[in-house]
Each structure stands twice: as structure tokens, then as C-alpha cells.
């Protein structure tokens, strides 16, 4: 019992530590950066982190189940692009969105199938499947990188707007998603299974958990929640730029998840960790943008932070390298 | 129809397939064929693909990608992955241009510095992975992003300088566009690099350590390998090789674009996996990485020439990667199972009904109780005395399961001592003229122990069968031996397809997998005398010294092979259709021979031997515990003469104390009994035997 309570303590401290760091960063930025602590910037920050947060919630489900999904961005980019094309060609918005959702879900199931049934390493599988998905979508449906949403979808675009004098709706969607994911992970049987699966996959399988379907569900949920983030992105900008899949967003997402305390060894962390991580990375990104750093420098900074996060994670939650699966 | 079926089972293609799958060169043969196929396909589809100029151009464009694949192979063979190779390659390309053409450093200094840069990037990867215990995939992915971002920054910063650079010296130009014997310079470097790294990974200690760590980190650690340092060095080398590729690319292109090296890590990874290098590490060669890279390169460049869009190419690479990884994972996991399923290839064996062994049936084989009251020697002091032999001082020698020769001292055989420790599983024993104890050892060959207890090797290899895929030059399962009057050692190798533990599988095959081999100590040569024998087991030189008697266990035959006299070199069946499975043969004092039956035939098993399909299904479909096995829970010994007539039999009904008898040895009026699985040696007094007879005198004369 002491062991488990110790782990609980460590979890709390990591999340709290991240929140404290976040607070320190906010204080520093507020003092040194002009225009950081304005209402406008706070709303902009909220807008920006909401997408990152939603994506990270999806990723957290997979990471808690001891996986990793590098194809999350590619699958939401491809499926929202398809949804936009359908909307443009006259399909009703809900139906178009539903078709995109089904597509994202299917990609997730496929990833989970390859990983659990064919037993391929998750990182390689998702890396390769993101290439395949993007390539196929770009050859068959989307000729150019950018897909614009044609005029006449104001109802839909309102999702990307503000209410109550400037509060972005996207942050509310993030909050709603967080509540749903939290309830799923902590209150449902499948959610608890995800923890068991990540904590010790072999033990989970031997106690009779359906680990293969479970893996498929995890990846499907990751892709599906990612799709929600994609839809919010489209609602904010009225377009989908497929190059987003080649950008470093996926690493921002992993950084959020790992920093917040959802360890890559699986079975650790919760929605609160994701929110803490999202806040920290959001503030960091926002600060760097205000400092007018170019994208490359931002990438270097983020890369170094992520390296440190991974290093810390492997120190805090060591894994047995001699028995761990190769290729991750 | 029946004979056709018989021929089919005798020369089953499955035999070939099973042995083919076992070959180590089988694994690279898939990427190799694929390389040739892709090449031919493009040669047909693209006009003028095969001209010298076109080929040179292909090689020139391929070389750097090949090198990046080699860099990737290093990390994958060590059990990790290095995704930063593409970015390190690009950055090295820029650095080479910058240091040499913009800063004007001397070329050798530039090369050294750039390679050092690559090594430093590798050191970051390796340091984090080996000493920081981070995950290789994520770590190198992040290093990829950082280096790539830095590269994008510097190329933008130096756009103008890079645009106006001059192509430098003639050496630089030669590196970029020179040819040696028609081979582009960079291709030549790739070839040298591939040969060098292959040599390094297979022959040099640090390289072999990389393979060892990749195969099994734990085993490597237990063997005393410094796992962390080895991992570190693998990434350093990976980085350095990627940097070398960058220098050559710089010399060739003299430019540094935004897309230089983008996605090369994915191509390299696909190449390595497609080449059949296992992602689990430790399995694969550099040649395979280069072959894989050639396939990927030909596909991508060929698709460009065919006018296929880049997006489709990306998709195709992604799908190829998925398929290759999936196949790789499944193959590594199931290869053993596949091999096991196709390896056992039963043949068709027809048996006549055997003579009756029924008690009171009147045949020489009729059951009796003569072994029932055998005196137990060395009870529980020995495990599996497959063969026993006595020396001139009446000491008893036998083999033990743990690989040693045990001696029990005369006269009462209660003092046990380890005479010699050899290893393997010792089986048949024989004394030569000088009283050296010769022993057949399963898994090792034929060894000898001098009277002063020193062990020497007699032979462990024979002539290889040229027409066979499987290398059968090493001795797999040397079983029993005897020494001819001229000093030549004749020994049987029971099977060239199965280890001793799988003797039952060889029985299910009932195929001529064994051979009779002769070693001549005078010349030191070993040659195969007869091959395709069905489990040749016991070997005995006949009393007249003119022939070798050998027992075929699964065919229940005693055969005679003439080694001297008018019929020298010919072979004949001496006794056929015995009721039991024959094991060792030894001389008896009355000019006859003792033969041990390791088991008795049963009608059911005889029917099974006539039905290869049934036995195939049995091996494939049901667990080993449920297999139909030869009946070995009997104890029976028979005596036969030089004309092939069986004269008497001795039984331990039900095999209560002596089941599975593998050897009987007569010595001074006693018969000693040993068995493969027994915990004792039995002894009975022979009423009508010569009480002074001993084998050494029978073989070598003298007092």
C-alpha cells in the first residue's frame, strides 16, 4: 500500500510542480513581456491552447495505455479535409462531420489493429500510417495543401468564435472534452481497463482483459478526440492546411502529455496532468510568440524542453530496457 | 499409383523447403530478389534505363541514400533506432559547404570537422539513450527536429553566400563528379564503407559487441559487455556515417536547399526494414541495408521518372514500411513455428508382420524372464548409461547424461569415479588397440580418452554432401562406433536432420537421414562411407574383421557392409523384419552377436509407418504428449549369428528394471545391460558362456 500511495504522491507532485512552474512562467512573462497579461492575450492564449489541449487529451488515452500515436495529427488533418470537401459539395454539416469522424475513428482502429494483432511497434506503425494516410488523401481527394471551407457555413464557424464578451467557445469545448475524458478514464470500466493495460499489459492480458480490442479502442479514441480538435481548428480558421501534419504540433502534444505527468511507461497520470501540461506549454508558446521568436528557434527551444522532459520521465518512471519492446 | 506416392514421399519437396528455410542466406534472398525484380521492372518500363550513363547517374544519386541507410542500420542493429540521420545528413551537407567554400578551410580539416559534428550529434543521441536511458525513437525524433530547425535557420541565414559559391578545388569536384573505373566516386565510397562496416560488425570486437547488444542486451551484459558504451558507440558511428554522406552530397550538389535530407530518415528506415534487418536488433547485415536502400531508391526515383506524383510516392513508402515491418515482426515471431511445421517430412515405410514375440510361441523371440533377476550395478549412481564397456582390468566404463565418462572399479563396482569429462551427450563406446577409450558424442563428434585420462578429439567433421542444401559436414549425432583390425574407426551418425533430443521426430520420418562414416587415424581423414541410411545405430566389426554390421533402428534391420575380402565395398541386408527397434550390436563369446532392442514394434505403429500423411498430421496438429510413439517400455535382448539367424532372446517383461535397452556387453561370462534412460546397469551370469572371454582379446588377440 505504501508503494501505491507513494506513486500517487509522485503523480500529484508532478502535476503540482508543473502548475507551479506554469505560475512562475506567467509571473515572469507578465513582468518582462509587454502585452502578456492583457485580456486579449489571455483569450488568444485560451484559443490556442484549447486545440492543443484537446489533442493532448486524446493522446493521453493512448499514452496511459502504454502506446503513442504519431499519426494523430495526420489523421485529423486528413479526415477534417474530407469533411470540408463534403461540406463544400453540399452535404449537410452534421453528416459531413460524422463522415470525417468515422474516418478518423477507422484510422485509429487500423492503427490499433496493426499494433495489437500484428504486434508492430506503435511508434513505427503510427509514423508509417500517417505517411500512408496523408499520401492517399492527397493523391485521391486533396490536390493542394490547403482546403478552404466555402462560404455559407456560418453556423459551423460560430464554434470557432467567442461568447460572453470574448470567451472563446473552443476553450469551452476543451473543458467539455476534458470532463468527458475524465469521466471516461475514472468512472467507466473501459477507462479503468486502459489504466490496467498501460500499467502492465501482460498482467492485463493474463487476467483476461481483451487487450487487443482495448488497444484498438485507445487508438480510435485518440484519433476521434484529435478529430474534435481538428474540427475546432477548422471552425477557427475556416480552412485545413494539410502541412499541419508535417509540422511539429505532434511533438507539442507529446510534450504536453509527458510534461504533465502522463508517463510514457503507461498507467500514470490523468486529465488534470494534461490540463497542467497544456497550460505550461501554452504559456511557453504564447510567450515565445510574443517575444517574436521565429518558428525554427521555437522548434529548437521546444525540442530541448521535450528532450529534458523525456529524460526526466525516464528518470522518474524508469522502464526495463532489457525487456521493453524494441522500436520505441 | 502406390509407387508414385512412395516416390513423392521419398523425394518430398518439403525436405528441400525445410532445409532451405534453415539457411541463413535465405533471409537476405527476399530483399535480393526484390531488388533485382524492381530493377528489371524499371528497366522494362523506362526507356534507356540500362545505358551506362543512366546507370552511372543512378549510382551517383543513390550513394548518399545508401550511406544514410547504413547509418540507420548501425542503430537498428544495436537494438535502437536513429531518426536523426536525415537531419544530421542535411546539416553536415551545409557545414561542409560552409567550412570549405565559405570559410575556406582546407578540405581534410573540413571533412574531419564535419564527421566530428556527426559524431557529436550521435554522441547526444547515444548519451541520452545509453546513459540517460531514454527511448531511442522519441529521443532521436526530437534531435531530428532540433537539428532540422537549426539547419533551416542557418540555410536561410546564408542563402546569399550559398548561392554565390564557387565550386572549389579539383579534389572537391572529383569527390562530387569524379569516377573511378566508371564507378562514381561517391558510389565507391559507399562500397568501401559497406565492406568496411560489414567487416567491423562481423569480425572486429567492438562491432561484434554492437550485434551482441542488439541480439540480447541481457545476454551481452552477462557476458561482460559494457552495454552502455557499446550503445553509445553505435549512435556515434551512425551520426558519423550520416555526416560522411552529407559531405559527399555537398561535393556533388554544391547547394543546400530547404528540402535536403527531408524524409531521408523514413526512407532509410524503410530500407533497413525492407532489407530484412530485424527491428528487434542484432539480426541483419549491412549488405541487406544497402539492398533495401536500393529498392527504396529505385522505387522513388523510378516513380519520379514515370511521372507519379510525390504524394503517391509518400503513400507508397508508408505502405511499404507498414507491410515490411508487419512481415518482419510476424516472421521473426513465427519462423520457428513455420520451420517446425514444414521440417518433419515422414516417408513411406512398409513392414511385413514381424515374427511372434508371444510367450511360448516357439520363435527365438518368445518372451521369457531371463533378465528379470538381473543384478543392479550402480543403482541410482548413473543417469542414462547408453553404452557400457569393460577394460582388461575388469573396470566398468559407462556414459552419463551430463557429458562425462564414469568408471566403476572392479571387482564389486561400488566405487564410482568420473573418468573423463567431455561434454555433449556421450553415447557409444569402444576400445582401440592401445586401450584408448573412444566415444561417440551426440552434438560433438568422436572423442577419445587415453588411459591416462587425457581427452583428445578424433574427428568432428566429414565430407559434405554436395547435392544437399544443409551443410552436413559437421557431425550431428554420432551414435556408435567400432574399430576395424586395420585401426580404422567406423561410426554411425544416426541422423543429419535431428538432434538427439528429437530422435522421435527422426523416427516419424523413417527416412534415410543417417550415414556410416569411417575415420582413419593414420591419415587423420574422415569420409562418409554410406549415406541415406535410416537411423544407423549400433556398429560392430564382425568376428572375422571383414565386415561392419550396422543396425537400422527404424527399419528393424541388421545390415552388413563389407570392408575387406572379395565383396569389399558392397552392402547387404543381414536380417530383416526384426520384431524390435535395433540398437547397439556387440560381439558375443560364442562367435555370435548381441543385439539390444530399444523398443518393440507394435501393429499400430507399423500401420502408422505405412501412412506418411497420418504422421505429418500428427506432428502438425496435436501436442507432442499425444503423439504415437514406438513402444519403448520393453526390455529385450537377442543374439544372432553371422548367417543372420536369431538364436535366442532375453527378456525383462514390461521393462520393470531395464526398459529401453540400448546396449549389452559380454565380459568374462557376464552380460552387462545399459539403457538410454536407465538409472542402473544390469548384470546377469551367462550359463553357457566362456568365463575367460573378453572383448579386447577377441578384437586384438594376445593374452
Judge: A310–B321 Cβ closer than 8 Å, yes or no: no
| Average pLDDT over every residue of B253-264 | 80
A322 Cα to chain B: minimum distance (Å)? 6
Q: Does A264 touch chain B (CB under 8 A)?
A: yes
pLDDT digits (tens, 9 = 90+) for A167-181: 889 999 999 999 999
Mean pLDDT of A183-203: 93
- What does the pLDDT read at residue A13? 65
**Candidate from A7-11, A208-212, B53-57, B339-343 with smallest mean pLDDT:** A7-11
- Considering only CA atoms, which of B99, B145, B133, B301 is closest in space to residue B227? B133
Q: Within an 8 Å CB–CB cutoff, is residue B14 touching chain A?
A: no
Calculate the average pLDDT of chain A. Answer: 86
Model pLDDT, residue A8: 46
Among B647, B677, B644, B653, smallest CA distance to B663 is for B677
Cβ atoms of residues B586 and B545 within 8 Å: no
CA dist B249 and A38 (Å) reads 50
Question: What is the pLDDT at residue A327?
Answer: 42
B128 contacts in chain A (CB < 8 Å): 307, 310-311
Under 8 Å CB-to-CB from B54, ≥6 apart: which residues? B48
pLDDT of residue B310: 77
Tally the C-alpha atoms within 13 A of residue B13's C-alpha that lie toward its C-beta: 0
Mean pLDDT computed over B174-188: 83
> Looking at the complex, does the CB of residue B281 fall below 8 Å from at least one CB of chain A?
yes
Minimal C-alpha gap between B215 and chain A (Å): 11
Contacts of A118 in chain B (CB under 8 A): 326, 329-330
* CA-based nearest residue in chain B for residue A142: B311
Whether B321 sits inside 8 A of A328 (CB atoms) is: no
CA–CA separation, A112 vs A210, rounded Å? 13
pLDDT at position B334 over 50: yes
Secondary structure letter of residue A322 according to DSSP = T
List A residues 308-327 in contact with B (Cβ-Cβ < 8 A). 310-311, 314-315, 318-319, 321-322, 326-327
* Residue A148 backbone zone (phi > 0: left; psi -120 to 50: alpha; other: beta): beta
**Min Cα–Cα distance to chain A from B503, Å:** 34
Of A45-49, B89-93, B422-426, where does mean pLDDT reach its minimum? A45-49
ipTM tops 0.85 = no
Q: From the candidates A113, A259, A314, A321, which should be mutated to test the interface with B, based on the most B CB atoms within 10 A?
A: A321
Torsion of CA A271, A276, A282, A283, to 10 degrees: 170
Q: Tens of pLDDT along B549-608?
A: 999 999 999 999 999 989 999 999 999 999 999 999 999 999 999 999 999 999 999 999
Q: Determine contact: A306 vs chain B, CB below 8 A.
A: yes
Instruction: Judge whether residue A11 has pLDDT over 60.
Output: no
State how far the Cα of A234 lies from the Cα of A223, in Å rounded to an integer. 16
Contact residues, A window 43-82, toward B, CB-based 8 Å cutoff: 68
pLDDT in tens, B7-30: 887 778 888 888 887 777 777 777
Mutate to test the interface with B, among A135, A288, A305 (most CBs of B within 10 A): A135
Identify the pLDDT of residue A76.
94
Beta pairing class for A146-148 and A239-241? antiparallel
- How many Å separate Cα B324 from the centre of its chain? 25
The yes-or-no verdict on residue A326 having pLDDT over 50 is: no
Let me know: does B243 contact B115? Beta carbons within 8 Å. Answer: yes
- For the segment A111-135, what is each residue's pLDDT rounded down to a tens digit? 999 999 988 888 788 988 988 998 8
pLDDT digits (tens, 9 = 90+) for B349-391: 888 899 999 988 889 999 999 998 889 988 899 999 999 999 9
Q: Which residue of B has its CA nearest to A141?
A: B311
Any CB–CB contact under 8 A between B425 and chain A?
Answer: no
CB contact under 8 A, A326 and B279: yes
For residue A325, pLDDT over 60 is answered with no
Q: Which chain A positions have a beta carbon within 8 Å of B217's beta carbon?
A: 321-322
Cβ–Cβ contact B309 with A under 8 A = yes
Among the residue ranges A191-205, B145-159, B174-188, B566-580, the one predicted with the least confidence is: B174-188
Q: What is the pLDDT of residue B200?
A: 92
Question: Reduced to 3 states, what is the DSSP secondary structure of residue B345?
Answer: coil
| Radius of gyration, CA atoms only, chain B | 34
Contact call for B311 and A138, based on CB within 8 A: yes
Question: Which of B146, B311, B333 has the CB atom closest to A303's CB atom?
Answer: B146
Domains detected in chain A: 2-316 (1.10.3470)
- Taking CB atoms and an 8 Å limit, are B318 and A131 in contact across chains? yes
Is residue B141 classed as helix, strand or coil in its secondary structure? helix
Instruction: Find the mean pLDDT for residues B34-44.
Output: 85
Cβ pair A162, A40 in contact under 8 A:
no
State yes or no: pLDDT of A9 exceeds 70: no
Residue of B nearest to A242 (CA): B311
Q: Give the B window 138-157 contacts with A, CB below 8 Å.
A: 138-139, 141-143, 145-146, 148-150, 152-153, 156
Query: What domains are defined for chain B?
Result: 57-340 (1.10.3470), 375-700 (2.120.10.30)
- Which among A128, A294, A300 is the nearest to B325, CB-wise? A128
Distance separating the N- and C-terminal Cα atoms of chain A: 31
Number of DSSP helices (H) and strands (E) in chain B, helices first: 20, 26
Residue B25 confidence (pLDDT):
76
Q: Please identify among residues 209-248 of chain A the ones whose CB lies closer than 8 Å to any CB of chain B.
A: 248
Alpha-helical segments (H) within chain A: 2-32, 39-64, 72-88, 93-116, 122-140, 154-157, 169-187, 189-199, 201-206, 211-237, 249-260, 271-290, 295-316
B40/chain A closest Cα distance in angstroms:
26
Residue A73, SS3 per DSSP: helix
Q: A68 and A264 in contact (C-beta within 8 Å)?
A: yes
Tell me: pLDDT of B548 over 90: yes
Asked if residues B580 and B556 have their Cβ atoms less than 8 Å apart, the reply is: yes
| CA-based torsion, B22, B25, B27, B32: positive or negative | negative
CB contact under 8 A, B138 and A120: no
Question: CA-CA distance, B42 to B435, in Å (whole number)?
Answer: 70
Task: Give the span between the Cα atoms of B96 and B94, in whole angstroms.
Answer: 5
A310 with B135: Cβ contact below 8 A: yes
Whether the predicted pLDDT of A3 surpasses 60: no
CA B187 to the chain's CA centroid: 34
Element (H, E) at B441: strand B437-442
Is A131 within 8 Å of B314 when comparing Cβ atoms? yes
| Model pLDDT for residues B216-228, shown as the tens digit of each residue | 888 888 989 998 9
The CA distance from B222 to B227, in Å, is 10
Does the pLDDT of residue B435 top 80, yes or no? yes
Size of interface A-B (CB pairs under 8 A): 140
Q: State if pTM tops 0.80.
A: no
A294 has a chain B CB within 8 A of its CB: yes
B332 has a chain A CB within 8 A of its CB: no
Average of per-residue pLDDT across B98-120: 88
Question: Taking all residues of chain B, what is their mean pLDDT, rounded to a whole number?
Answer: 88
Percent of chain B whose pLDDT exceeds 90: 47
- When scoring B78, B146, B157 by the number of chain A Cβ atoms within 10 A, the one with the most, hence best to mutate, is B146
- Contact call for A251 and B132, based on CB within 8 A: no
Task: Provide the shortest C-alpha distance from residue B328 to chain A (in Å).
Answer: 9
Q: Is B433 in CB contact (< 8 Å) with chain A?
A: no
The DSSP output letter for B124 is H
What residues 145-204 of chain A have any CB closer than 8 A to a CB of chain B? none
The closest CB to that of B322, out of A125, A302, A318, belongs to: A125
Q: Cβ contacts of residue B111 below 8 Å, gap of 6+? A: B96, B247
Cβ atoms of B73 and B237 within 8 Å: the answer is no
- Is residue B222 within 8 angstroms of chain A, CB to CB? no
- The CA distance from A50 to A172, in Å, is 8
Residues of A in contact with B221 (CB under 8 A): 322
Residue A252 clears pLDDT 80, i.e. is over it: yes
CB contact under 8 A, A131 and B326: no
pLDDT, tens digit, 9 for 90 and up, residues A34-83: 878 788 888 888 888 899 999 999 999 999 998 889 899 999 999 999 99
Average pLDDT over residues B421-435: 93
Q: Cβ separation of B318 and A128 shorter than 8 Å?
A: yes
Instruction: Decide which of B466 and B198 is more confident.
Output: B198
For residue B198, is pLDDT > 60?
yes
The answer to whether the Cα torsion of B413, B416, B421, B425 is positive or negative is positive
Q: Give the closest-approach CA distance of A129 to chain B in angstroms.
A: 6
How distant is the Cα of B396 from the closest Cα of chain A, in angstroms?
49
**B159-178 residue pLDDT tens:** 877 777 766 677 787 887 88
CB contact under 8 A, B321 and A294: no
User: Which one has a higher pLDDT value, A300 or B2?
Assistant: A300
pLDDT higher than threshold 70 for residue A323 = no
**Is B287 a residue whose pLDDT tops 70?**
yes
Amino acid at each position: 500500500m505504501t508503494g501505491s500511495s507513494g506513486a500517487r504522491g509522485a503523480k500529484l507532485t508532478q502535476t503540482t510542480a508543473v502548475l507551479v512552474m506554469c505560475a512562475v512562467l506567467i509571473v515572469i512573462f507578465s513582468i518582462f513581456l509587454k502585452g502578456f497579461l492583457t485580456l486579449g492575450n489571455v483569450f488568444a492564449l485560451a484559443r490556442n491552447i484549447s486545440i492543443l489541449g484537446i489533442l493532448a487529451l486524446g493522446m493521453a488515452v493512448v499514452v496511459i495505455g502504454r502506446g503513442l500515436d504519431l499519426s494523430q495529427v495526420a489523421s485529423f488533418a486528413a479526415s477534417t479535409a474530407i469533411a470540408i470537401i463534403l461540406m463544400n459539395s453540399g452535404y449537410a454539416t452534421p453528416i459531413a462531420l460524422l463522415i470525417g469522424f468515422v474516418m478518423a475513428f477507422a484510422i485509429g482502429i487500423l492503427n490499433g489493429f496493426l499494433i495489437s494483432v500484428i504486434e508492430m511497434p506503435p511508434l513505427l506503425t503510427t509514423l508509417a500510417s500517417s505517411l500512408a494516410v496523408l499520401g492517399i488523401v492527397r493523391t485521391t481527394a486533396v490536390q493542394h495543401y490547403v482546403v478552404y471551407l466555402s462560404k455559407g457555413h456560418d453556423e459551423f464557424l460560430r464554434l470557432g468564435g467567442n461568447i460572453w464578451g470574448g470567451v472563446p467557445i473552443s476553450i469551452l469545448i476543451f473543458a467539455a472534452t476534458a470532463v468527458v475524458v475524465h469521466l471516461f478514464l475514472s468512472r467507466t470500466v473501459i477507462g479503468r481497463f486502459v489504466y490496467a493495460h498501460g500499467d502492465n499489459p501482460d498482467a492485463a492480458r493474463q487476467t483476461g482483459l481483451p487487450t487487443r480490442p482495448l488497444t484498438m479502442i485507445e487508438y480510435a479514441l485518440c484519433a476521434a478526440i484529435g478529430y474534435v480538435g481538428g474540427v475546432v481548428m477548422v471552425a477557427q480558421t475556416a480552412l485545413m492546411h494539410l502541412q499541419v501534419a508535417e509540422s511539429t504540433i505532434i511533438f507539442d502534444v507529446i510534450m504536453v502529455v509527458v510534461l504533465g505527468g502522463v508517463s510514457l511507461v503507461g498507467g500514470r497520470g490523468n486529465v488534470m496532468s494534461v490540463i497542467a501540461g497544456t497550460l505550461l506549454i501554452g504559456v511557453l508558446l504564447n510567450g515565445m510568440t510574443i517575444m517574436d521568436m521565429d518558428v525554427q528557434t521555437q522548434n529548437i527551444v521546444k525540442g530541448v524542453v521535450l528532450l529534458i522532459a523525456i529524460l526526466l520521465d525516464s528518470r522518474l518512471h524508469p522502464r526495463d530496457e532489457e525487456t521493453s519492446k524494441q522500436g520505441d | 499409383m502406390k509407387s508414385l506416392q512412395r516416390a513423392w514421399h521419398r523425394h518430398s519437396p518439403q525436405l528441400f523447403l525445410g532445409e532451405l528455410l534453415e539457411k541463413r542466406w535465405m533471409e537476405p534472398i527476399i530483399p535480393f530478389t526484390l531488388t533485382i525484380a524492381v530493377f528489371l521492372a524499371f528497366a522494362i518500363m523506362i526507356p534507356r534505363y540500362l545505358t551506362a550513363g543512366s546507370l552511372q547517374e543512378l549510382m551517383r544519386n543513390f550513394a548518399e541514400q545508401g550511406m544514410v541507410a547504413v547509418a540507420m542500420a548501425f542503430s537498428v542493429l544495436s537494438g535502437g533506432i536513429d531518426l536523426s540521420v536525415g537531419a544530421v545528413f542535411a546539416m553536415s551537407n551545409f557545414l561542409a559547404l560552409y567550412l570549405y567554400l565559405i570559410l575556406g578551410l582546407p578540405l581534410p580539416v573540413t571533412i574531419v570537422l564535419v564527421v566530428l559534428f556527426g559524431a557529436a550529434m550521435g554522441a547526444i543521441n547515444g548519451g541520452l539513450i545509453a546513459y540517460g536511458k531514454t527511448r531511442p525513437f522519441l529521443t532521436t525524433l526530437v534531435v531530428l527536429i532540433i537539428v532540422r530547425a537549426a539547419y533551416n535557420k542557418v540555410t536561410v541565414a546564408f542563402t546569399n553566400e550559398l548561392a554565390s559559391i564557387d565550386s572549389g578545388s579539383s579534389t572537391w569536384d572529383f569527390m562530387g563528379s569524379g569516377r573511378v573505373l566508371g564507378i562514381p566516386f561517391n558510389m565507391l565510397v559507399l562500397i568501401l564503407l559497406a565492406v568496411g562496416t560489414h567487416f567491423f560488425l562481423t569480425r572486429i570486437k567492438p562491432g561484434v559487441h554492437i550485434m551482441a547488444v542488439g541480439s540480447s542486451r541481457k545476454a551481452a551484459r552477462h557476458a561482460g559487455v559494457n552495454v552502455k558504451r557499446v550503445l553509445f558507440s553505435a549512435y556515434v558511428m551512425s551520426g558519423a556515417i550520416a555526416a560522411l554522406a552529407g559531405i559527399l552530397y555537398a561535393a556533388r550538389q554544391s547547394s543546400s536547399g530547404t528540402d535536403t535530407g527531408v524524409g531521408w530518415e523514413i526512407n532509410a528506415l524503410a530500407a533497413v526494414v525492407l532489407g530484412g534487418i530485424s527491428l528487434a536488433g542484432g539480426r541483419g547485415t549491412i549488405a541487406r541495408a544497402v539492398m533495401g536502400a536500393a529498392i527504396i531508391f529505385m522505387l522513388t526515383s523510378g516513380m519520379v521518372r514515370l511521372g507519379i506524383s510525390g504524394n503517391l510516392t509518400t503513400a507508397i513508402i508508408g505502405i511499404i514500411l507498414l507491410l515490411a515491418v508487419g512481415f518482419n515482426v510476424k516472421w521473426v515471431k513465427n519462423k520457428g513455428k513455420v520451420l517446425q511445421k514444414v521440417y518433419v517430412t515422414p516417408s513411406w515405410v512398409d513392414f511385413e508382420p514381424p515374427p511372434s514375440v508371444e510367450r511360448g510361441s516357439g520363435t527365438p523371440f518368445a518372451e521369457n524372464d531371463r533378465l528379470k533377476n538381473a543384478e543392479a550395478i550402480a543403482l541410482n549412481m548413473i543417469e542414462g548409461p547408453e553404452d557400457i564397456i569393460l577394460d582388461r582390468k575388469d573396470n566398468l566404463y559407462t556414459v552419463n547424461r551430463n557429458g562425462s565418462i564414469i568408471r566403476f572399479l572392479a571387482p564389486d563396482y561400488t566405487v564410482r569415479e568420473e573418468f573423463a569429462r567431455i561434454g555433449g551427450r556421450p553415447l557409444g563406446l569402444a576400445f582401440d588397440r592401445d586401450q584408448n577409450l573412444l566415444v561417440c558424442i551426440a552434438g560433438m563428434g568422436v572423442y577419445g580418452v587415453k588411459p591416462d585420462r587425457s581427452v583428445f578429439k578424433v574427428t568432428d567433421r566429414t565430407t559434405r554432401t554436395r547435392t544437399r542444401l544443409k551443410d552436413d559436414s559437421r557431425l550431428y549425432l554420432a551414435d556408435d562406433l567400432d574399430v576395424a583390425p586395420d585401426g580404422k574407426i567406423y561410426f554411425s551418425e544416426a541422423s543429419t536432420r535431428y538432434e538427439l533430443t528429437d530422435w522421435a521426430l527422426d523416427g516419424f520420418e523413417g527416412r534415410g537421414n543417417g550415414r556410416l562414416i569411417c575415420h582413419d587415424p593414420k591419415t587423420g581423414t574422415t569420409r562418409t562411407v554410406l549415406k541415406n541410411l535410416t537411423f544407423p545405430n549400433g556398429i560392430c566389426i564382425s568376428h572375422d574383421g571383414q565386415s561392419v554390421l550396422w543396425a537400422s533402428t527404424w527399419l528393424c534391420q541388421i545390415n552388413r557392409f563389407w570392408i575387406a575380402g572379395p565383396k569389399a565395398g558392397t552392402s547387404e541386408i543381414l536380417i530383416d523384419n526384426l520384431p524390435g527397434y535395433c540398437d547397439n550390436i556387440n560381439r558375443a563369446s560364442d562367435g555370435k552377436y548381441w543385439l539390444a532392442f530399444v523398443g518393440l514394434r507394435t501393429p499400430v505403429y507399423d500401420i502408422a509407418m505405412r501412412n506418411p500423411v497420418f504422421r505429418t498430421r500428427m506432428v502438425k496438429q496435436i501436442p507432442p504428449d499425444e503423439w504415437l510413439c514406438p513402444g519403448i517400455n520393453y526390455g529385450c535382448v537377442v543374439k544372432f549369428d553371422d548367417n543372420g539367424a536369431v538364436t535366442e532372446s532375453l527378456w525383462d517383461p514390461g521393462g520393470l528394471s531395464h526398459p529401453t535397452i540400448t546396449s549389452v556387453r559380454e565380459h568374462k561370462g557376464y552380460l552387462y545391460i545399459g539403457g538410454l534412460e536407465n538409472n542402473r546397469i544390469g548384470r546377469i551370469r551367462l550359463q553357457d558362456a566362456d568365463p575367460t572371454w573378453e572383448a579386447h582379446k577377441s578384437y586384438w588377440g594376445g593374452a
